[in-house]
Structure 1
Amino acid sequence: MRRSRLYEPPEGATLYMPVSGSRNPTSPPPVSPATGFGGGLMSFTSKAKVNPGKNSTTGNGASKTPNIISVPLQDLNADTVVMDSLQPHPFVMACAGGTIAFGTPAQNFTMVFDSGSSDMWVPSQACTTPVCLTLMRFNHTASSTYHAEAKLLDVKYGDGSHISGTTAVDRMLISGNSIANQSFGMATVDDSTIAKKGVEGVVGLGFGRVANVKGFTTVVETMLARKMIVQPIVSIWLGRQRIGGANEGSGGAVIFGGVDTTKYVGNFTWAPITDKNAWKIRFDAVSLAGKNLDLSGDALIDSGTSLIIVPAKVASYYHELIPGALEVPQVGWILPCNTSMGDLNFTIGGQQFRVPAEEQVVLFRIPGYAEYCKSAVEASAYADTEWILGASFLKNVYSVFDYRSLAVGFAHPSNIYNSLANVTLLPNLSNLPHGQGNGANGTQGGGDGSTGGQSSSARSIAKVQSVLYKCMATAVVALVLTGFY
């Protein structure tokens, strides 16, 4: 696989959001109230405890509906790290909260769910690197359900750090649901940057066929094969927070096998993927403050990417339209924190989806640049044709990833940002077109179940290297949704 690189903020950089302290490897990190800051510096985690009972989840908003696994998310103020993942076959990382444990009895881990990769790993008790000694480590001798698999696992990062080890088979628990005989990696060497930030492992939600370990079965594939979920979908909504303290969405949810009909309105607009190994779809137009930017192409839909990643020339063009925008070495594009540039709109399947001005600003202060913040639109470092629509986009839609039809659906978010939920199967899912990048765009009803819309073909493009600016943060036994840096 290609090497990915880890990106960290410049020394001395200051986050507007408070940072949690370090934690003892045997205790969970502190959970702080929402701060009201927006623009990407959010992290979300579930406070649910591991419960070995089948289909019994805990925590506010968790689903007990058979064949649907719903995981509530909550804000967590935590130190964050951004991992740029460069995969041979790029696809989306879905950052979403959940309760993760391995073994019998359960051993809890701070995890990141990453649909930008397919492998799953945690530190092993045999890992004695300085970083590992600060983390929870899996003790296979303490698990009565452990079985050795002994396939080699090696993941390299662009800064020279890496994890390596072997695979094992054991029980996995996610939001109270037990998955027997799930394969995962046990890292015996772990000097990764994410580990240095207190994140103990990764759960890959990508396609098993592109995993580093040959023959690996992902968690979603396991759920489907064992009929833990009926509909082959994962839906995600990310709560939004606004500049100035107006909290409109402290939380979020990831739902395996269903949707929450209270969190979106109207119809879903569906776009088939244009790469069989990636959640990459066609967008037809882009506009800023009503000005058509004359752009179209294919974009990777990545809920684990904090920013909107665009070709370098597009980034320059975009920022030329914003008074005061600057490009700073080793930081990227910055702009005045109080700037107002108008809505950024993407047209997908004939429907416009907007990124409001406040979501185009990341509240991350740059040393030496008072009153400046990070731009949520950044230039790709690797490919002139690369587009990634990350959390800055996805916070403004309700997203569904369909593993059967190989399509991504978007609906406009509702104004309900509390714990009320109606978790159910997605209406009319069987009406979606099938295909691997050659299906049709269209719309499907949201909460009302109506359908409609015209079909259009999607253009296939060659694979390109992807820089996935990963959002990662510390959380107790949880996936993490977080903002930039």
Structure 2
Amino acid sequence: MELLPLLLCSVVLFSSVVSCEEKLVRIGLKKLRFDQNNRVAARLEAGHAREGLRAALNRNKGDPRDTDIVALKNYLDAQYYGEIGVGTPPQKFTVIFDTGSSNLWVPSAKCYFSVSCFLHAKYKSSQSSTYQKNGKSAEIQYGTGAIAGFFSVDHVKVGKLVVKDQDFIEATREPGVTFLMAKFDGILGLGFREISVGDAVPVWDNMMKQGLIKEPVFSFWLNRHVDEEEGGEIVFGGVDPNHFKGKHTYVPVTQKGYWQFDMGDVIIGGKPTGYCGRGCSAIADSGTSLLAGPTTVVAMINKAIGASGVVSQQCKTVVSQYGQTILDLLMAEAGPKKICSQIGLCTFDGTKSVSMGIESVVNEGDERSSGAVNDAMCSACEMAVVGFTALDIPPPRGPLWILGDVFMGRYHTVFDYGNMQVGFAEAA
């Protein structure tokens, strides 16, 4: 079944205030409440991101210096995105900074037949003095749909850094509901060139080649506190010491393409599962909201937080009988923590919830548990709104874990290109 991510009810938008401190660029943020369409878009995008990575893995299974900070928006805890500029003068776009892909694309003014293009900012080459024509066609698959267009070349502004002569895709076709209702305009990939469509040099590579950053490192902090105005930040050229505790633990990148590394055992409730005894791979993916892994272990995690296994009959029953009701309640801004009790499948004591169960697994040493009664139907309902989902990738690329925003919100994450490693430290 398609899992629904936990949905929250606020998004942060950029303000025009820009401040500099210790040679770091900071962009102020504001908050804005969501409407129902935004909720649906976030839910769809989470599923499409997971399916898109699955498809990409199948396609690729053979194979002046400064530190710059870009503030991020928190989109329903489903996507974190920020603002860039393309062209001279810069034309503004909001993009997802995605470590699971490598291309930059934004909607084109030449997109005439996709409704989503009319609802987002569009790049107008005629209004840029630094535009260079390329014209090579391009298509990127995103699970159930694809964006298509053609390559162009122009300057790209990220924070206060200006990347010159950057290849990017002008999207002329954006099918599906996902892009129609999404708050973001495009995607800026931070993966390796090995998975870049059209062998385009990624923005991050050009930042390094053009000497725009102090160190070949970028880092993510995703704010987990939805009541705060900051959605998070990405730092190009270093790390922000204000957003992590202690020291980072680094693991080497094992295969260029995605930010992929070897993973040890999965520990649930203080006990090892033994599943990764022969080795597992993991990908740190900022473009995916969920934490995805092999069905066997995900079933154990969902059981630990009060949700039944992903292949259970109860889960299928809940979806068939209550799926539309759950969707309607989410669209009506019902709190995800209370939905299963609202439809009569769970009994809560008012102090515990599904999200507590998730935190008890993701957060080390947290002894809380979900407050649902031990009932199969209740557990299956809980799983419909939980942040863990199954993804089975066969050897040699699997078993594979995708550590999305559920994980990266807990751990400040450093992507160290110079030393080909990924670092994790407790977020602050």
Question: How high is the TM-score relative to the length of structure 1?
Answer: 0.63
Asked if 2 retains the 8 angstrom alpha-carbon contact of 1:284 and 1:295, the reply is: no
- Does the alignment pair 1:407 with 2:421? yes
Quote how far apart the aligned CAs of 1:344 are: 2.6
Asked if 2 retains the 8 angstrom alpha-carbon contact of 1:96 and 1:236, the reply is: no
Aligned to 1:300: 283
Q: Deviations over 1:259-304 (max 9, x none)?
A: 1112222221110022222212222222222232223222111222
- Does the alignment pair 1:273 with 2:253? yes
| Structure 1: gaps (5+ residues) | 1-6, 19-33, 35-42, 50-57, 346-352, 415-485
Quote how far apart the aligned CAs of 1:48 are: 5.0
Secondary structure at 1:277 match in 2: coil
Equivalent residue letter for 2:147: I
| Structure 2: gaps (5+ residues) | 64-77, 327-338, 341-345, 347-351, 372-376
Aligned to 1:206: 191
Pick the aligned partner of 1:254 from 234, 242, 251. Answer: 234
Quote how far apart the aligned CAs of 1:397 are: 1.3
Distance 1:412 1:208, change over 3 A: same
User: Hey, what's the Cα distance between the residues in 1 that align with 2:382 and 2:79?
Assistant: 29
Quote how far apart the aligned CAs of 1:77 are: 4.4
Distance 1:324 1:166, change over 3 A: closer
Distance 1:48 1:233, change over 3 A: farther
User: Hey, what's the Cα distance between the residues in 2 that align with 1:154 and 1:123?
Assistant: 13
Aligned positions, number? 349
Aligned to 2:364: 354
- Does the alignment pair 1:146 with 2:156? no
Distance 1:135 1:184, change over 3 A: same
Q: Deviations over 1:221-253 (max 9, x none)?
A: 1111111102111111111238xxxx4785321
Asked if 1 retains the 8 angstrom alpha-carbon contact of 2:86 and 2:157, the reply is: yes
Aligned to 1:23: none
- Does the alignment pair 1:338 with 2:353? yes
Question: How high is the TM-score relative to the length of structure 2?
Answer: 0.70
Aligned to 2:269: 289
Question: Percent identity between the aligned chains?
Answer: 27
- Does the alignment pair 1:232 with 2:223? no
User: Hey, what's the Cα distance between the residues in 1 that align with 2:281 and 2:296?
Assistant: 16
Quote how far apart the aligned CAs of 1:69 are: 5.9
Aligned to 2:329: none
User: Hey, what's the Cα distance between the residues in 2 that align with 1:44 and 1:304?
Assistant: 17
Pick the aligned partner of 1:189 from 173, 179, 182. Answer: 173
Distance 1:158 1:314, change over 3 A: same
Distance 1:96 1:355, change over 3 A: farther
Equivalent residue letter for 2:364: R
Q: Deviations over 1:378-401 (max 9, x none)?
A: 111655722112211111111101
Pick the aligned partner of 2:389 from 365, 378, 392. Answer: 378
Aligned to 2:151: 167
Question: Which protein, 1 or 2, shows the higher relative CO under an 8 Å CA cutoff with sep ≥ 6?
Answer: 1
Aligned to 2:407: 393
